[in-house]
Amino acid sequence: MQVISSIQAIKQSIKALIKENRSTIGFVPTMGALHEGHLSLVRQAKKENDTVVVSIFVNPLQFGKHEDFTRYPRTFGNDCNLLSQEGVDIVFNPSATEMYPDGFCTSVIPESLEDKLCGKSRPGHFRGVAVAVLKFFNLIQPDIAYFGQKDFQQTVVIKRTVSDLNVGVTIKVLPTIRDQHGLALSSRNAYLSETEKTDALCLYTALTRAKTLANMGTTDTGEILREMEKIITRCTSATIDYIAIVNPETLETVPKVQNGDVVALAVRMGKTRLIDNVTLILMIAFSCLIL
């Protein structure tokens, strides 16, 4: 496994791969502190491509001033061991100055998507994500890039950006990997105390309740959200940032649930902000599919 940290070296390696005729490149962007969620993306990339590149980059542009950039978990040695065991070909881990040298001033603004859901409490976050991911796409020239449904809004932003700017990469979104109790795996779960970790299960309980209600035919968004709020507010360490049911492409909130809408939430457990989401499948639509 090659570990590359300079832009010049990654360009050379990719050029050599293309010359060698290694026909497809799969790419998994990450911020490291890897867990089974990340590894599920890597494994899929391995299955579908000749070469797999994983980036590990804690991107300063996507953190707000008072967010956890400096204390974000960094476990580079262990990450490399895991990726090498998975048969990854290249790890790209540029420094912040390599990515954003003096004078860097270009942004990518996902206009109608960036101020919704997580964007409300994380202004600038999604442009930071879009810039880094687009830079990686330009450098790595992947055929397929893999993202987790866990970061739902990020997937919507990336798909939109790639489509709007005609970037030649296929975006694949893979399911959220959870622990045995339903808690979505996240590098930030490392911040949780044992009590907070147990309490954090209320996110999944609330999302599952929403899924069940929609399955049973409830389409009234207000009713579903109220039920979810009840479940989460019962949990003492939880503070709701938002819960919303939205169209999966525009992120506009919907008054009545339609098949495929997404219920997304962000909840603070103590000081740690967790996000999660599920796609709602209406029973009526499901029975039509079977017929």
Q: Point out which residues bind ligand AMP (CB under 6 A).
A: 30-31, 37-38, 40-41, 147-148, 150-151, 176-177, 184-187
Question: What's the min distance (Å) between Cβ of 205 and ligand AMP?
Answer: 17
Residue closer to ligand AMP (CB basis): 206 or 282: 206
Match 């600038």 to its residue by tokens. 124
- Report H helices in the chain: 7-20, 36-48, 76-85, 96-99, 118-121, 125-140, 152-164, 194-199, 201-215, 221-233, 283-290
Question: What's the min distance (Å) between Cβ of 30 and ligand AMP?
Answer: 4
Residue closer to ligand AMP (CB basis): 116 or 125: 125
Question: What's the min distance (Å) between Cβ of 190 and ligand AMP?
Answer: 12
The catalytically annotated residue of 35, 38, 66, 181 is 38
Q: Is 38 among the catalytic positions?
A: yes
Question: What's the min distance (Å) between Cβ of 84 and ligand AMP?
Answer: 18
Between CA 80 and CA 1 the distance in angstroms is: 9
Closest residue to ligand AMP, Cβ-based?
148
Q: Which of 46, 50, 55 is nearest to 20 (CA)?
A: 50
Residue closer to ligand AMP (CB basis): 44 or 218: 44
- What is the 3 state secondary structure string of 222-237? HHHHHHHHHHHHCCCC
Residue closer to ligand AMP (CB basis): 22 or 178: 178
How wide is the angle at C-alpha 7 spanned by C-alphas 65 and 24, nearest 5°?
Answer: 110
Active site residues: 38
